[in-house]
Amino acid sequence: SLLVGGQLLLQWRGSVNSDVSLQKRIIGGHDCDDKEHLYHVRLVGSMGKAKTRCGGTLIHPQWILTAAHCWKINVVMLKVHPQTAIHQNTVIREDPVSYVAHDEKHDIMLLKLRRPVTDVQPAQLPDCSHRLKVDDDVQLVGEGITTAGPNNERRERNIEVMRIKCFSASPEKGDSGSAAMFNNMIYGVLSESGQNACDEPVRVMDVCEYMGWISRTTA
């Protein structure tokens, strides 16, 4: 089954490398065009000297969809792409809205902005009459690094649903909460991954499982 407790299991496509560890920043992806994926946001915060970061997706002029474990971060940076854009920081003042069922908190969360965003087109929500199937190509959007340079560009990487192999590209810390896109719609939110590409797939929260909650919250 593709769905495990509200999660999709995804696996990278790429060259085989049995030693690579799976983390949460997109490694080995390519730079996006300056007009692509402008709905991607950066969530930043600090705990003492430690700085933390996640990704997120603007799905409504006033709402960001991300992973629930990112809540320790309460500053949203809009317009992180392209590099020439003027970044806009905003502090999340309202309590986050997480999905809870049967006393279990799922790793998906909505954050409300103080003011609507008027100059960025939100990501399109999924067409849940066409769910993801095995071997569908899914695009993971984030700000991953490569071994050749700093992580200062939004990157994307194609992944494949449930294709079990070991691959050389992976997400790393910093891209939790970022979007998994299919046909230019957000079908998933990056939740977690295993410690080794062979051990377990990347886990992505299945947005279709939460559409009722999203619609009620953002209405």
Tens digit of each residue's pLDDT (9 = 90 or more) over 79-126: 544 444 555 677 788 888 999 988 888 999 999 988 898 888 999 999
Domain locations along the chain = 40-151+159-218
Instruction: Answer whether 0.85 is exceeded by the pTM.
Output: no
SS (H, E, C) the chain: CCEECCEEEEEECCCCCCCCCCCCCCECCEECCCCCCCCEEEEEEEECCEEEEEEEEEEECCEEEECHHHCCCCEEEECCCCCCCCCEEEECCCCCEEEEECCEEEEEEEEECCCCCCCCCCCECCCCCCCCCCCCEEEEEECCCECCECCCCCEEEEEEECCCCCCCCECCCCCCCCEEEECCEEEEEEEECCCCCCCCCEEEEEHHHHHHHHHHHHC
Q: pLDDT tens-digit profile of 160-219? A: 443 333 333 344 455 788 888 889 999 999 886 544 444 456 678 899 999 999 999 999
pLDDT of residue 55: 86
CATH, domain range 40-151+159-218: 2.40.10.10
